[in-house]
Structure 1
Amino acid sequence: MEKVNLKSLYLEEIEAFLKELGEPKFRGKQIFDWLHAKQVSSFSDMTNLSKSLREKLEETATLEPVTIVKCLISKEDGTRKYLFGLENGSIIESVLMKYEHGNTVCISTQVGCRMGCTFCASTIDGVERSLSAGEMLSQIYEIQKDSGERVHGVVLMGSGEPLDNYDSVMKFLRLVNHPLGQNMGQRHITLSTCGLIPKINQLAEEGLQITLAVSLHAPNDEVRRKTMPVANANPMKELLMACEQYIAKTNRRITFEYALIQGVNDSEAYARELAGKLKHMLCHVNLIPVNDVKERNYVKSSNENVKKFAAILQKNGVETTVRRKLGSDIDAACGQLRRSHMQK
């Protein structure tokens, strides 16, 4: 019989599971506390449970552990890049970033990715499988234990497309926000998507107050299709309409991610075209000098081009920032550590 993944269950689901085991309902809250407040890694640590119940749990349930395989720490800014091993031997990455306002963790939602964006290292090997809500939570919990510091925010921007793992991601968002657990405010959570229109429409109906970040990376479909296969099924006109509907429904500003690639999407004409499409939206553009991807022969835009691109957007009333690059001395780009580990 397949074991139940307790860390991926809501409190009510844990209570129902315990009822099946012939255990009282109040044990559910105790277990939930051990999992998400105390964040233990084994049933033996749950010391206020009877020995017989712990034995039952060992036989019927799992805590979906992730194990630190490797951790690189930046000498420049304290950024930590983690390589985690999963129960089935798969490998994922997470990054702990330190800011003045608190610590943020970038987590993975899948092992690899099937979206095929040509500037992203995580897509090169395709997708192995999606992660459970518990495996997403475990990345945060293990980083907190290893660093000794609380995580205040999370970005779903590691390997994987979050909206391609929709149900597990929704469960993760509600569990990490639970007042009896990590109790992380939804406004401290950012979900990044390459632009799956039906899923954005579905997300708008969830009643969440997270920040939605949409990977745009081009001012039009012609350019976008060169680097993002997902653009073929999700045209920009319809994508921007879905974003406007999301804003209207949630009253939340959207962030548009734009990776600047030299000679591909970083011209002044493209900046003006992009500004024309976004200037009336409640949005913010995050410019990202692309990380060099050897397999694609892509080179990041020059600092001069980045500044010009940003200036054009700002002049046209589009709020714009250039992403601060953290962990440059430990190659904290998504997918790089995982791939180097697999190639050994």
Structure 2
Amino acid sequence: MKKILLAVTAALAITGCSQNEEFENAGQKAEINFGSIVGNSTRAAIMTTDGFETFTVNGYKTSDKMGDAVSLASFMPNEVVTKTDGAWKHANVFYWPSNYVQFFATSPQQTLSLPSKGYPTFDYTVGGIADQKDLLVANQIDKQKSENAVELKFQHALTQVNFSIKGDTKGFDYKVTNLTISGVDGTGTFKFDGTATVGAWAQDGKAAGTYTATYAEGSEITLINVTDLAATTKFDANPTASLFMLLPQTLKAGAKVAITYTAAPTGKTDVTDLTFTGTKEVALTGAWIAGQKVRYTLTLSSDAKEITITPTVSEWGTSESDTPLTPSN
């Protein structure tokens, strides 16, 4: 998967005399610089080199190497690094202390919570499809004074869920106006762990997340005059409502997708020509993994029944009646 290398040459400095005792040597102060990589390039604006413009980094001092029994002391709180006119800028400058520094970063910015000991966490709620973001996370642990930049390798923390459609009847048009995912976890807590994969999620297990993409008239997802029943159309063609950014999870019973669409013979535009109009559902199964794409291909049924005419001719009866008639003038 493609990596995006970003040269972040921001200098970060502490102000205040109270921090001076942390310097190894006041005459040899070394600035802390950052380099960052976005791994596994994936709206929810999908993060690209040009699109990656800001992240927030938190640094904590520790007397020992990082672990579940180590307490974190605030050192670099919520330092926002922003790219402006091609250059990375931020408000403060920080210098290396004499002990260890643990770095944890997010984009967009998240509010980190610190336990009494161990790694920080943050709570996350997936928004509606128009508000879903490509959440990035990074960490670097046990860093000490160095002339080299601190390399933050960002990982995608969510799962990108995509859809495609195909039709089941040749010579038909299909038009999708709504797609809804429901019965999935929508809130969770992310815990950093200092590894290359950065951390892991714990969900609340309520499976209360419902996410809807609506395609207004003129922007529907369509299949026109189907000739190949194996051919698919990706929803990705609609950049404003084509994919979902959702929490990684093992899908539970009740997870499903509902799709609202119409089907009609090609060229037929009157509502009375529709062979299907409504919503159908199908269960979602399996596991969604952080940083991965999942694609579901939905086969739409036309529900078309060809009209056939079968004529029958009854046999002549075997009896014959004789009715006398007398013509008159």
Measured against the shorter chain, the TM-score band is: under 0.3
Instruction: Please report the TM-score for the alignment, with normalisation by the length of structure 2.
Output: 0.23
Higher RCO structure, 1 or 2 (CA under 8 Å, sep 6+): 2
Q: Which structure: greater helix fraction? A: 1
TM-score by length of 1: 0.23
Higher strand share: 2
